[in-house]
Amino acid sequence: MQNIIRLFFFITMGLVSMANAHGASLSADQLRMVEQLSPQDKASLAKQYGVNIPSKPSSVAITNPETVAPRAVGRGILESGPVKSADAKKIEQDVAQSSQVEMPIEKTGGQQGADKIELKRAFSDFVRESKPLQVNTNNLKQFGYDLFAGAPTTFAPATDVPVPAEYVLGPGDELEIQLFGQQNDVFTLVVDREGSVAFPNIGPLTLAGLSFSEAKAFLAEQVGDKMVGVSASVSMGKLRSIRVFALGEVERPGSYVVSGLATLSHALFVSGGVKKIGSLRRVQLKRQGKLVSTLDLYDFLLNGDTSKDVRLLPGDVVFVPPIGKTASIAGAVVRPAIYELKGRTNVAAMVHLAGGFLPKAYHEEALLERINDTGNKSVKSFTLYGKGLKTVVQNGDVIKVFSSLDFEENPVMLIGNVKRPGKYAWKQGMHLKDLVKNEQALLPETFMDYGLIEREAEGNREPELLRFNVRALLTQGGDDNVLLKPRDKVFIFHRSHFRIAPKVKVVGSVQTPGDYALKKNMRMLDLVLAAGGLLRDASLGKVELYRTNPNTHDVSMLKVSLDQVMQGDKAANLDLQDLDRLVVHSVWEKKRKYSVQITGEVMNPKEYTFVDTGMRLTDLVFAAGGVTEKAMLGKVEITRFDIIDGKARESKHFDVDLAKALAGDESANIMLQAHDVVTIRQVSNWRASEHVTLAGEFLYPGSYPVEDGEKLSDLIERSGGFSDKAYLKAAVFTRESIRQEQQKQIDEMTSRMEVEIAQEEQAIASLGDAQLIKHKQAALLAAKRVLEQMKATKALGRLVIKLEDIRKLKKSDFNLTLRDGDQLYVPKKPDQVMVVGQVYNTTALLYRKKYDLEDYVGAAGGMTRFADEDRVYVVRANGFVERASAWGSTYIHPGDAIIVPEKLEQFSLLDSTLDWSRVLMQVGVGLASMKTIGIF
């Protein structure tokens, strides 16, 4: 039996590697037989025959939880919705506006405007320098319930992790046993309902109730005592499933089947998580009516402690009681939320639950809001240090931790046209020159005659202004070197604050027309060059300079020669003044621009400028780079437009002989007119060069150019015909268009299979029967292997033809009209016949003239019990497929392949999976021809 299995392994693995086909697969029974081979036998056979063994899936079904999109967690009765009042929004807008730096002097627009400025400044100071004792409690959420926001697709724990030594075995658990030494074997033991396993050659052994480590030691001892010279390696296979209950305040209370490794937390996940009216701190595990363990999920969430997350046993009940006492903490803490209390809790414990204080927390004052016995709300004030942290918290309390002020006591601000503006620290005895030390601290174009200091007046902190001269400050100091006070703002201005920057403008035929800053001693030539220079169509004649009088705003015009300006003539190159506008004209303003067009078979077909001094046909052709090789020179069309009486346009067409014009015939080389369109036509039967490849047994094989309508027989004659070793029955003819269509069909079939496999995976995930799941997963595994083979398959584009000698080929239907890219390969005569499929020895046999199909099948060892005797067929060397109707009358020729198919059990999900015969007929490649052209 072992030899038969080995032979079957070679047959199946050989078919997988040989076929490279589009859907052939092994049945479930075949896969199970292959899996029964030991790893040593598989490796030995694979090495002997050069077959790659597919990776063996783990004997333990690996089902890792996958998190899907988070489900919505509703608001609990302890939570309130986020509400933003209109006043809160207004405060946010004012805070954003107050953060912008403003000039110290503002335009009032009358008494009403002054009042607005005063109110604006007062509110800005309030926002910037005050922090109301208030905390937003509208967005507080109950802590910890987001843990159950992502529901996993499977609630069994990951089974690709080591099984703990203390795991207790029970009915349904599997043990993987590997024997080595005098006997090498691998098998699986399943703990039955009686708690025993049937160990071959030893007998039944009771394992239920033992831990995994105890069971390993017990089995090793039994093997050592009862099987001489044999050692055992024991590992866990599939784990049993157990039924537990999740009750109380869970989303979906009920009975659930989970893995034997499931813990208390898995039961919470399988039931959808804890409701917001359920307790996270008193999750109970009950076994046979008694309380076994209590889980505090806060230990898990805050400290990562899973020591209380005990493993479940069959019949366990996970019970979630209603939520206990709660209290809230909001404001300047790391994690503001609503927390469930456990035992006596004070403010320090609440701060610890909230992750501690933020750096901006105000420790001098905090509030505790409480609902007293009369049902009214009371407020208690305390500090966040010392005794204040020992304040006891009761059910429903709200702790508010406020933020510190943003007020800064000793900054000095430097604002404006300086290199390092910003905030500086004030020091006792600090003067203005300590802040603006020298001229290197200023940016270019600083206004040196004026600077401002905005200071808060003593008493009422009203803003007051102190003026200083920047130039005097840097050169002399003196009274301008003001003694600074805390919170002073020093303003240094750019000169543009006090005057409009002078500018000039250039328009017309320059590269970049527009406005330009007027510099000292700037002239007309400087402006033209600043604009990128002149365009090629610029007129070098007169240009206009429009000048605006700064006092009367009257505009005058000066005309100068642009040619003289560009040569740097001092008299023409005038100095520019503010608001000057220079206009540069184009030559086309006084002259009309005409064009002619050439289209068709020239190198650069487009419009060209018409030259009215004798432009001829050949001039335009040469300007377009000359004609292409496809041009028809004898008949070139010219379309000409005439204006009739200045009212209507009339077009006419006439032909000229361009060949004569190019040869120097003046009568054909006509004079062109403005707006003419020259059309050079293409030769009517022109087409790109096409090639066909002949390979193999030809006298002169190679790639040959072919003409439209050329036949296969014509090309074979051009190649010298066939050699004396040519075997015409195995000729392979391929065509690119057929290959593309075949590949398209393969890709479509692959896409359909991917969709069907994905749908089947989803269907399997929803099944509850373990045996049915096991059967479906085995089918799914085989389907995925078939899919991988199909993805690797590339179509050849073979067109099956019957090739004969040239004389007969000319009269047959197989004398094809050739197309670009066609290939014909004629091999030498083979001396073998292939027998593949469900025979005991898939091999190549020496061709014997007197042998028929039955003789060759018998020489291959005969058919296996899996063979389908009624569907045996022959793939001829030329690609044709013939069904074996009568075994004795089916003659075999060299290079033929005999296919003995199996009785396939197709999976329901793989309606597109095909047997070997359909695959070979669709792809159109015989097995013998595959070997000949190098596929095998």
Q: Cα 884 to chain center, whole Å?
A: 53
pLDDT above 90 (res 188): no
Angle at 175 between CA 172 and CA 178, to 5 degrees: 160
**3-class DSSP state for residue 158?**
coil
3-state secondary structure 673-699: CCCCEEEEEECCCCCCCEEEEEEECEC
Residue type, 210: L
Residue 103: its pLDDT value, please?
Answer: 59
Give phi and psi for 474, each to the nearest 5: -80, -25
* pLDDT confidence band for 100 (50 / 70 / 90): very low
Q: How does strand 345-346 pair with strand 361-371? A: unpaired
Distance CA 395, CA 403 (A): 25
926 pLDDT band (50/70/90 cuts)?
very low
Q: Which two tokens stand for residue 804?
A: 């004969």
Element (H, E) at 397: none
State the average pLDDT over residues 415-426: 90
Higher pLDDT, 784 or 353: 353
Nearest to 365, CA basis, from 344, 385, 341: 385
- Give the 3-state secondary structure percentages of the chain, helix then strand then coil, rounded to 5: 30, 30, 45
Cβ neighbours of 425 (radius 10 Å): 10
Residue 922, pLDDT score: 38
Query: What is the rounded CA–CA span in Å between residue 836 and residue 14?
Result: 9
Supply the pLDDT for residue 77: 61
CA distances (Å), origin 81, targets 54, 138, 251, 642? 57, 6, 22, 81
Q: What is the DSSP letter of 728?
A: G
User: Per-residue b/e over 723-758, b at no fewer than 16 CB within 10 Å?
Assistant: eeebbbbbbbbbbeebbeebeeebeebbeebeebbe
User: pLDDT (tens digit, 9 = 90+) per residue, 817-842?
Assistant: 888 888 889 898 888 888 988 888 88
Would the pLDDT of 669 be above 60? yes
- Evaluate if residue 611 carries a pLDDT over 60: yes
CB half-sphere exposure, 931, CA atoms < 13 A = 19
| Least confident range of 37-46, 402-411, 726-735, 882-891 | 37-46
* Whether 143 contacts 277, CB under 8 Å: no
Percent of the chain predicted with pLDDT > 90: 18
**Burial class (CB within 10 angstroms; exposed 0-12, middle 13-18, buried 19+) of 16:** buried
Looking at mean pLDDT, say which of 73-77, 129-133, 751-755, 763-767 comes out highest. Answer: 751-755
Q: What is the 3-state secondary structure (H, E, C) of 729-756?
A: HHCEEECHHHHHHHHHHHHHHHHHHHHH
pLDDT band at 170 (very low <50, low <70, confident <90, very high): confident
Q: Are strands 230-236 and 174-181 parallel, antiparallel or unpaired?
A: antiparallel
Q: With 60 as the cut, is the pLDDT of residue 50 above it?
A: no
What is the pLDDT averaged over residues 363-385?
A: 88
Q: Exposed, middle or buried, 212 (CB in 10 Å: 0-12/13-18/19+)?
A: buried
| Cβ-contact 896, 877 below 8 angstroms | yes
Q: Dmax over Cα atoms in the chain, in whole Å?
A: 129
For the residues 313-325, what does the mean pLDDT come to?
A: 90
Angle (CA) 382-387-392 rounded to 5° is 75
Q: What is the pLDDT of residues 480-505, one digit of tens each?
A: 899 999 989 999 998 877 777 789 99
Question: What CA–CA distance (Å, rounded) separates 271 from 294?
Answer: 18
pLDDT digits (tens, 9 = 90+) for 434-484: 999 998 999 988 989 999 999 988 887 888 889 999 999 988 878 889 999
The contacts of residue 443 (CB under 8 Å, 6+ apart) are: 417, 418, 419, 494
Predicted local confidence at residue 646, as pLDDT? 65
The predicted structure's pLDDT at residue 777: 78
The residue-averaged pLDDT of 699-722 equals 85
pLDDT in tens, 19-42: 333 333 344 444 444 455 555 555
Query: pLDDT of 870-924, one tens digit each?
Result: 888 888 887 888 887 666 567 788 888 888 887 755 444 444 343 333 343 333 3
- Average pLDDT of the chain is 78
Q: Hey, is 782 helix, strand or coil?
A: helix
Of 27, 35, 36, 41, whose CA–CA distance to 54 is shortest? 35
* Beta pairing partners, 229: none
pLDDT (tens digit, 9 = 90+) per residue, 330-358?
A: 989 999 999 999 889 999 999 999 999 99
Q: Is 640 left (phi over 0), alpha (psi -120 to 50) or beta?
A: beta
Lowest mean pLDDT among 116-125, 230-239, 374-383, 469-478: 116-125
For 551-561, write each residue's pLDDT tens digit.
888 999 999 99
What the block records as the tokens of 13 is 């693995």
Q: Which residue has the higher pLDDT, 240 or 549?
A: 549
Mean pLDDT value of segment 216-239: 79
Helix ranges restricted to H, 567-612? none
* Of 122-131, 423-432, 872-881, 903-912, highest mean pLDDT: 423-432
CA dihedral 909, 912, 918, 923 (to 10 degrees): -140
High-pLDDT (> 70) share of the chain, %: 80
Q: Is residue 591 very low, low, confident or very high in pLDDT (cuts 50, 70, 90)?
A: confident
Output DSSP code: residue 146. G
